[in-house]
A and B are shown apart, each in its own frame.
With several copies, the nearest count.
Chain A
Amino acid sequence: MINKRMPNAAKAVADIPDGASIMVGGFGEAGSPIELLHALIDQGAEDLTIISNNCGSGEVGLAALLKARRVTKVICSFPKTANSTVFPELYREGFTELELVPQGTLAERIRAGGAGVKAFYTPTAAGTPLAEGKESRDFDGRTYLLEHGLTADFALIKGVQADEHGNVTYNKTARNFAPVMAMAARTTIVQSARVSAPGGLDPEVVVTPGIFVDRVVEVPQPAHESELIAAGVSYP
């Protein structure tokens, strides 16, 4: 029997060590695995590298992890959002380093990492400051940049319906980076509103097949970033 279910978020993230690289799903608050992030804050790991599209909002979820001074580097396409004050301060202070990557290049680098594609040529960012220090090459008269696949030690992602084999589906635009991050991380941890026995998901509608997922934890009523912020929550 195969059962990847974990009893709670704390157990699911218990072995994440200092210095780990962690992919965190979500675009804005859609798909942000708040409960896993809060468990990681409680757990205490530091000197983390976070790979995520944004850096969180307010002082909950990913922003709270940064605020707790656990993150020394982010690989990110858009670190500033409307309610984002934590990252700018840590960045200006020099505590948190930033590797800025165009959003589509970030998604494709993560997919490449998960798919065993070592590197690829993309036209995105050619001729811009983000091409500096990168190898480029012309094909058919157009310039392309060489971008490398990206992997991580862990991925924290949020699904809506999962099963004990690790198959996952998502809610609307919460899908965003999760399927490719699940592929690219050595250990993928999923929080899902529902977790069923195998057979609970139609094989035709599975978005992330279980082979990409290591642990599943049921979080039936996940918090939303905007609601926590509206309620004035600052985690912990």
Chain B
Amino acid sequence: MSTSDAVQGWDREAMARRLAQDIPNGSYINLGIGIPELVAKFVPEGRTFIYHTENGLLGMGPSPEEDQEDPELINAGKRHVTANPGAAYFHHADSFAMIRGGHLDLSILGAMQISQAGDLANWSTGKPGAIPAVGGAMDLVAGVKKVFVLTQHTTKTGEPKLVESCTYPLTGQGVVDRIYTDLAVIEITPAGFQTIELAPGVPFEHVQGMTGAQLSPPPASPSE
């Protein structure tokens, strides 16, 4: 199975922009490392999001000017950030109380695999000899109200990431609400993967072909 060159779908920025449209004003959001960080660049007109970084800051702002960096003002990806007006610092137990206690509205994460039951695998390949490292991923998916996955539809080698059941070690069971890929927006429902929207010019059959489990087609009249 390999990605067809003829079908382009959304690029990384378009994926992030598409996801951002589905976030209500005033949401408290934790952005995972990588593509999820791009979401902050595409806040829709008239909305304000507040970003939580689990290492102890609510109200995270953009990267600082180069000479304004503080080595002790960083995000979960250990990159320099700033604090917006209205920000607050707190310790790790309080930070994960926000996460575990269901106070955050949305967690946006990358993924290695997502099953049709909403299981997520994104922390380990399970290969012998690999250095295990989990960070806050298991806490986020267990605690945050909604979990959106933002990821390429397939791996770099063209393997499907949306599968019947995960073969990689799980981050959480039945935790994913929606998946935003380069090809489509897909909701996890009791009946499995439900296509909500296709990227422009991407046929449903193509997405199904790139998916390792049954995919329900999008509703007849798109809600857009």
A and B part of one assembly: yes
Residues of B within 8 A of A (CB): 25-26, 28, 48, 50, 52-59, 70-74, 78, 83-104, 124, 126, 129, 131-139, 142-143, 169-173
Is there an interface contact between B135 and A78, defined as CB atoms closer than 8 Å?
Answer: yes
The 9 nearest A-B residue pairs measured at CB: A198-B86, A104-B96, A199-B85, A116-B100, A104-B139, A115-B97, A127-B173, A107-B92, A206-B88
| Complex A-B: 19 CB contacts under 8 Å | A2-B48, A78-B133, A79-B131, A80-B131, A82-B78, A87-B131, A88-B131, A103-B54, A104-B92, A104-B96, A115-B100, A115-B101, A123-B142, A124-B100, A126-B173, A128-B173, A165-B50, A175-B56, A177-B91
Docked-complex contact A31 and B72, CB < 8 angstroms:
yes
Stretch at the interface among A6-14, A41-49, A61-69, A207-215: A207-215
> Is there an interface contact between B135 and A30, defined as CB atoms closer than 8 Å?
no
Once A30-B74, A98-B132, A124-B142 are accepted as A-B contacts, the answer to whether A172 and B95 lie under 8 Å apart by CB is no
Contact (Cβ within 8 A) A77 B143:
no
Q: Is A192 interfacial (CB 8 A cutoff)?
A: no
Chain B residue at smallest Cβ distance from A149: B101
- Nearest CB of A to B71, in Å: 4
Bound-state CA distance A175–B92 (Å) is 8
Q: Is the CB of B48 within 8 A of A1?
A: yes
Q: Among the listed A101, A108, A174, A207, which residue makes an inter-chain contact with B72, where contact means beta carbons less than 8 Å apart? A: A174
Chain A residues with CB under 8 Å of chain B are 1-2, 27-31, 53, 77-82, 87-88, 91-92, 98, 100-108, 110-111, 113-117, 122-130, 163-165, 167, 170-180, 183, 197-199, 201, 203-204, 206-207, 209-212, 224-227
Instruction: Give A206 to B102 CA distance when docked, in angstroms.
Output: 20
Q: Residue B96 contacts which of A108, A199, A224 (CB distance < 8 angstroms)?
A: A108
Contact between chains at B78 and A28 (CB < 8 Å)? yes
Interchain CB contact under 8 A, A123 and B72: no
Which residue on chain B has the smallest CB distance to residue A127? B173
Does A172 contact B28, Cβ atoms closer than 8 Å? no
Query: Please, which residues of chain B bring their CB within 8 A of the CB of A115?
Result: 93, 96-97, 100-101
Chain B residues with CB under 8 Å of A226's CB are 71
**With a CB–CB cut-off of 8 A, which chain B residues contact A117?**
100
Q: Which of A53, A163, A170, A198 has the most CB atoms of chain B within a 10 A radius of its CB? A: A198
A95 to chain B, nearest CB (A): 14
CA distance A209 to B84 in the complex (A): 13
- Are B86's CB and A164's CB within 8 A? yes
A165 to B48, CA, bound (A): 11
Bound together, the chains give a CA A74 to CA B100 distance in angstroms of 24
Contacts of B59 in A (CB 8 A): 165, 198, 203, 210
Among residues of A, the one whose C-beta sits closest to the C-beta of B99 is A104
Q: How far, in angstroms, from A212 to B74 measured CA to CA in the complex?
A: 23
The reply to whether A172 and B135 form a contact with Cβ atoms under 8 Å apart is no
Question: Which one of B72, B100, B171 lies within 8 Å of A122 (CB-CB)?
Answer: B100
Cα distance, A92 to B25, chains bound together (Å): 47
CB of B18, distance to nearest CB on chain A (Å) = 23
Contact of B26 among A2, A113, A125, A212 (CB under 8 A): A2
Measured between alpha carbons, how far is A198 from B101 in the docked complex, in Å? 24
Q: How far is the CA of A32 from the CA of B26 in the complex (A)?
A: 29
Given A175-B91, A211-B58, decide whether A123 and B100 contact each other with a Cβ distance below 8 A.
yes
Contact A116 B92 (CB under 8 A): no
Min CB gap A220→B, angstroms: 16
B133 touches A77 (CB 8 A): yes
List A contacts of B25 (CB < 8 A): 2
CA distance A211 to B116 in the complex (A): 32
Partner of B133, one of A100, A173, A177: A100
A203/B171 contact (C-beta < 8 A), A100-B132, A124-B142, A165-B59 known: no
How distant is A168 from chain B, measured CB to nearest CB, in Å? 10
Question: Is B89 a contact partner of A204 (Cβ separation < 8 A)?
Answer: yes
For the complex formed, measure the closest distance between the CB of A85 and the CB atoms of chain B, giving whole angstroms: 11
The one of B50, B70, B132, B173 that contacts A2, using a Cβ cutoff of 8 Å: B50
Whether the Cβ atoms of A77 and B136 lie closer than 8 Å is yes
